[in-house]
Structure 1
Amino acid sequence: FVNPGLLFSWVSDEVFRKPTFARFCSLLDNYNPNEDYKEVVTEEERQEQAAFIEEVSRTAVIKYLVIKDVAPGSYQEFKRMLTSLWFDLYGRGGTSGSSSAFEHVFVGEIKQSGGEQVSGFHNWLQFYLEEAKGNVDYQGYIFPRRRGEIPDSETQLLTIQFEWNGVLKSVSSTLVGVSPEFELALYTMCFFMGREENHIQLS
């Protein structure tokens, strides 16, 4: 691992004023990170989920999935499916209703079994906000394997190590600087491709 310190030195406030970014960030404090904690979803949180899905569904990248028949059904059915896919609760770590795809991928969880470790937590906005609060200790990146290049300000896919609330995430990949709708569309597309490994070229 190379170059420990802060991962982010600065992110413009303009980013958080963009509608999909603002709706996304409103969801990040809706979860208890402990994997054995049964989540309780309030009506306000359901409204935040609905507002986020509505906002991202207006974007070209989400509409692309409907146009290209990546997901089945009508536009309205697709929005309902997105809500269910990302926000329905399921069991993890032996506790029912303790997790959702959104919490795992974007927010992060702390596994208790077999020693504490961070699970999920792949979103750069969550990382930036948690680092700004002092909850994340960034411990460096791994050199990109194939390209043999050093990450710079233009690099978007990083493999990093960090501690979150004192718990280690030894290896994590994150796409830096992308929009919430881009990540949601990308991972939803992978889900519908239905394979264990999906090879995607980002350019």
Structure 2
Amino acid sequence: MKLTVETGRRSFWDMAQGSLFSWVNENIFQRRTFSRFCSLLDNYNPDEGCKEVVSSEERQEQASFIEEISRTAPVKYLHKYLSSKGISENYQNFESMMTSLWFDLYGRGGTSGSSSAFEHVFVGEIKQCGEEEVSGFHNWLQFYLEEDKGRVDYHGYIFPRRRGQIPDSDTQLLTIQFEWNGILKSVSSTLVGVSPEFEIALYTLCFYMGGEDNHIQLGPYPVNIKCCRLGDKIGSAFPVADC
């Protein structure tokens, strides 16, 4: 299967030996939330046990991203809803809360300060315990950019058990297998074509108002948004097609 992404239109055909993306309309990277999101992707060491060092420039990139997405409809809705539930009523406090939730470092793989919610969910990490494997990495933009650089080897898609059919031009929820820098991710699910602000808002809402399993309807898709906690932080968040 290959994937073409324009501005909301996708095309598929079965060619698992090739790449997932045949073409993406790169005008999307001129959108401010997209460009600020992409500027964050190279800020992390992928080794799960490696302590992260965050520069002042990287902190500014984090602040700029949160500030930018806070102007968008999905995140404004998120704030309005959380405020109605008594969570972070002040907007300035809300932005600080979002920055802390997504970018504060915590321990993973036995090393303190080695991971964050943003790194795990959107960038991806390499587990070093036992056999190496990819952990996290649930974002389509990161996949496209890494595939374009030759770092991702797409293996193919997994049939949705509920539908039992090949993805078509309207498909936006994919379950795939791939290698990243030669290391396998045996099963990974992702929402394709969505904006960074949509995913951030969705996962944040599930973290504060839901549980580990959050069964929702996204357009035509019954989806379980898995939201795993590490204390008071997001350990992982990703979509799973409900069967």
Identify whether the pair has TM-score above 0.5, normalized to the shorter chain.
yes
Letter in 2 for 1:38: K
User: What residue number does 2:49 align with?
Assistant: 36
Letter in 1 for 2:50: Y
TM-score (norm 2): 0.81
Structure 2: tracts of 5 or more residues without a match: 2-13, 220-243
Give the distance between the partners of 1:157 and 1:71, measured in 2 at CA.
32
- Residue type of the partner of 1:185? A
Report the CA distance shift for 1:71/1:37 in structure 2 as closer, same or farther (over 3 A). farther
C-alpha distance 57-176 of structure 1, shift in aligned 2 (>3 A): same
Of Structure 1 and Structure 2, the greater strand share is in 2
- Structure 2 counterpart SS, 1:131: helix
Question: Which residue is 1:119 aligned to?
Answer: 135
Matched, 1:60 2:73: yes
Alpha-carbon spacing, 1:71–1:174, altered in 2? closer, same or farther (3 Å) = farther
RMSD value over aligned CA atoms?
A: 1.3
Partner of 2:32: 19
Q: How far apart, CA to CA, are the structure 2 residues paired with 1:72 and 1:186? A: 16
Among residues 43, 53, 61, which one is paired with 1:48 in the alignment? 61
Whole-Å separation in 1 of the counterparts to 2:102 and 2:194: 18
Q: Count how many residue pairs are aligned between Structure 1 and Structure 2.
A: 203
CA deviation digits over 1:13-38, x for unaligned, max 9?
A: 11100000000000000000001110
Give the SS at the match of 2:217.
coil
CA distance in 2, matches of 1:153, 1:105: 26
- What does 1:1-203 correspond to in 2, within 5 Å? 3-4=15-16, 5-69=18-82, 72-73=87-88, 74-203=90-219
Q: Which amino acid is the alignment partner of residue 68 of structure 1?
A: Y
Contact kept, 8 Å, 1:71 with 1:192, in 2: the verdict is no
Report sequence identity in percent: 75
CA distance in 1, matches of 2:44, 2:169: 31
Instruction: Flag the structure with more relative contact order, 1 or 2, with Cα contacts below 8 A and sequence separation at least 6.
Output: 1
Q: Provide the rounded CA distance (Å) in 2 between the counterparts of 1:177 and 1:153.
A: 12
- Write out the 4+ residue segments of structure 1 that deviate beyond 6 Å after TM superposition: none
Give the AA of the match of 2:37: F
In proportion to residue count, which structure has more helix?
A: 1
Q: 1:71 offset after TM fit, Å?
A: 7.0
Deviation readout 1:89-147 (Å, 9 max, x if unpaired): 00000011000000000000000102100000000000000000000000000111112
1:171 shift after superposition? 0.2
